Amino acid sequence: MKKFSFLLFHKEYESFLEQLRSIGLIHVNEKEGGVEDPQFDETIQELSRVDALVKEFVKLNGDKNTLEDSAGVQKYESVDTVLEAYNKLVEERDTLVARQQQVEKFKEVWLPWGDFDISKLEKLKDAGWNLEFYSCNSRDWNDEWDDKYDILNVAQIGVNRYFVVISSAEDTVSIEADKVELPEISFSESNREADIVKDKIALIEEQLVRLTKVGLPLLEDYQLEIQDRVDFAKVRLNGDKMAENHVYLLEGFVPEEKADEIRAFLEKERVYYEESAPSYEEKVPVLLKNNRFVRMFEMIGDLYSLPKYGELDLTPYFAPFYLLFFGFCLGDAGYGLLLMILGFVFTPKTTGATKSAMQLCKWLGASTILFGLIGGTFFGINLYDEGWGFYGNLSQMLKAQGKTMNDHLFNLALIFGAIQVIFGMVLKAVNEAKQFGVRYAVGTIGWITLFVGLVLSYFLPSFGVSEGFVSIFRYVVVGFWALVSLFFSNPDRSIFANVGAGVWDSYNMATGVMGDILSYIRLFALGISSSILGFVFNNLAVQFAPENIVGKIIVMTIILIIGHGLNLFMGVLGSFVHPVRLTFVEFYKNSGFTGGGIRYNPFRKRVK
C-alpha cells in the first residue's frame, strides 16, 4: 500500500471528494473513535431502516434471483410510492392479524358453552331474566350455591367446572367464582369471521409478494443511494480542519499497483499531496491477492480475522490442510460423492458467496472421497471387511503385518499435525523476517532447527548413518538452538533477559507443541466415528427389515435415508468445525498470526 495525504482548500473540498469518488481507488483513513455529526447519524438510521426493508422484501420473495415474471403487476414510479403501498398493506395485515388473534380467543371462550344465538340473552333480559356465566376449579365448588340459586351445570373440562346462574332482575347473585364475559359474537359467527379474516390476510400477503416483485429493484437502488450518501459524509467528516478551517487534511491508502493512477489524477487536479510508505503501526487496509482456488477458503479465514498490514496472509497456506482435514474427518466415499453432486448441481444456480461455497463443496467432496477410499468406507460399508477386489488383498497384507488401516490413519493424523505445526513455525519465521528483519526471526529459526533436527536424527540410522555421526549431529542441532533461541532470540533485549525469556519459551514449547500435535488425533477420531455410525445404521436397516420384500425395501429405505442423513449432517458439521479449530488455534498460534486487519474498501460511487 501507498499512503497519500492531501491538503485541500475548504471551498474545493467537496468537489474534490466527488472527483476522488469517481475514480474509486483510495481507502480513506478513518479517525479514531469515528465521526460525530447529527445529520450523518440520521442518514445512518435511514440506511439501517432501508437495509431492514430490503431484507423483508427479499424474505417475502424468497431468493430475489428466482423472481417470477412480473408482467401484469402494478408498476411503481418511485421508491416512495412503493414504501407507501407497502406500509399501507402491512398496516392492514397487522390489523387483521390482531383481529384474527381476538377471534381465536372468542372461540376458546365459547368452547365450554357451545353455540347459541347470543341475541337471545338480551331477549331473556328484557323478559326479566338474567343468565350469568361462571367457571371455577372443582375443588372450589360450594354445594350451597345449588340450594341458593338456580344453577345449570354446563360442562366439566379438566379441573374446571362451567355453570350458568339463572336469576330474576330483582335477585342479587353473590358467588365466589370467575364470572365469564361472553364475546360479542357467537361461536359460529367467530368461526365464520376467522375464515374471512384468514382469507383477507392471505390476499394481502399475495399483494405484498406482488409489490415486492417490482419494488425490490427500486428499494435496492435507494439503498445504494443512501449508502453513497453515508460513504461521502463519512469521508468528508474524516478530513481534519486546519488553518482556521480554511484547509482540510485528508489521508488514504492505495494499492501500489494503482499508485500511478492516483498520481496522474492528483497532478491533473493540481492538488497538493504527499506520498509515503505506511508504517505497521497505522490502520492500513489489506487487499488479499489470492488465486481462484484459494479465494474459496477466504470465507473460512474471515471467520477469525484478516491479517494486519505487513503480515502474511495465511489463507494459501492453510487451504490445502483444511481440504485434507475435512476429508479425513468425514472419511466416507459415499458422503463425499453426495457433496460433489451437491456442489456441481448448485454452483451454476447460485451467485456471490453462495456460489463460492458450492465450489468449495465440490473440492471438499473430492477430498472426502479420497479419504473414504483410503479408509475403505462407502456409506458405512467397510470395504476391507467385505474384501472386495483391491481391498481384499490389502486387508490380507495388513493382517500379515498385524495392523489395520486404522493404525495407519491414526499415525497419519499425528504426521499431519507435526507437519502443520512445524510449517506454521516456518511461516512465523518468514513473517518476523518480513516485518521486522531477519535478526528478529533467529529465535524461531532455532526452534525449527531443533524440532526438524531431532526428527531427522531419529530416522538417520535407518538410512545406514552411523550412531557416532548421529550423536554429533544432535549436539550441533541442540547447540545451534541454544545459541540463537536462548541468547539471541530478541536483539532488543540483553543476553540475560533473552536467557530468562528462552527458559520460559522452552517450557511453553515442551508442553504446547506436544499438546498441539496430539490435538490432531481428532481427525482420526471423527473419521472413525462417522464410519461406525454409518455401519450401525446399515445394521439397523437389516435387523428391522421384515421378511416381505416390499416391506423390506420400504423399511430399509426409510432407516437408511434418515440414518445416513443424520450421520451426514453431523459429520459435515464436525468436519467443518474441527479443522477450523485446528487452523485457528494450533496453526495460527504456531504461525504467530496476530490478525486484526481491515479490508481495503476504496471510496467509490455505488450507484452506477
SS3 556: helix
Q: Read out DSSP for 476-543?
A: HHHHHHIIIIIISS-TTS-HHHHHHHHHHHHHHHHHHHHHHHHTTHHHHHHHHHHHHHHHHHHHHHHH
Q: What percent of the chain has pLDDT over 70?
A: 97
pLDDT for position 514: 87
pLDDT over 70 at 289, yes or no: yes
Nearest to 7 by CA among 244, 259, 243, 250: 250
Task: Give the phi and the psi of residue 379 in degrees, each rounded to 5.
Answer: 50, 45
Residue 156, all three cell numbers? 366439566
Task: Return the higher-pLDDT residue of 492 and 49.
Answer: 49
This prediction has a pTM of 0.76
pLDDT for position 492: 83
Tell me what the mean pLDDT of segment 320-340 comes to: 95
pLDDT over 80 at 70, yes or no: no
Residue 207, amino acid: Q
pLDDT for position 505: 83
- Read off the DSSP letter of residue 434: H
Residue 385: C-alpha distances to residues 251, 337, 375, 379, 393 (Å): 68, 21, 11, 14, 11
Q: Read out DSSP for 15-66?
A: HHHHHHHHHT--EEPPPTT----HHHHHHHHHHHHHHHHHHHHHHHHSSGGG
Q: Please give the mean pLDDT across all residues of the chain.
A: 89
pLDDT for position 203: 94
pLDDT for position 436: 85
Q: pLDDT digit string (tens) for 434-483?
A: 888 888 888 899 999 999 998 899 888 888 888 889 899 999 999 998 88
Q: What percent of the chain has pLDDT over 90?
A: 55
Q: How far apart are the first and last CA of the chain?
A: 27
Rounded Cα–Cα distance for residues 63 and 58 (Å): 6
pLDDT over 80 at 75, yes or no: no
Q: pLDDT digit string (tens) for 245-285?
A: 789 898 999 999 999 999 999 888 888 889 999 887 788 99
Question: Is residue 387 very low, low, confident or very high in pLDDT (cuts 50, 70, 90)?
Answer: confident
Pairing mode of beta strands 285-286, 598-599: parallel
pLDDT for position 67: 45
Residue 164, all three cell numbers? 350458568
Task: Return the higher-pLDDT residue of 81 and 341.
Answer: 341
pLDDT over 50 at 386, yes or no: yes
pLDDT for position 193: 95
pLDDT for position 62: 63
pLDDT for position 347: 93
The sheet carrying 178-180 orders its strands as: 150-157, 160-168, 129-137, 178-180
pLDDT for position 64: 47
CB 351 within 8 A of CB 311: no
User: Among 36-40, 336-340, 354-358, 527-531, which is the least confidently predicted range?
Assistant: 36-40
pLDDT for position 73: 57
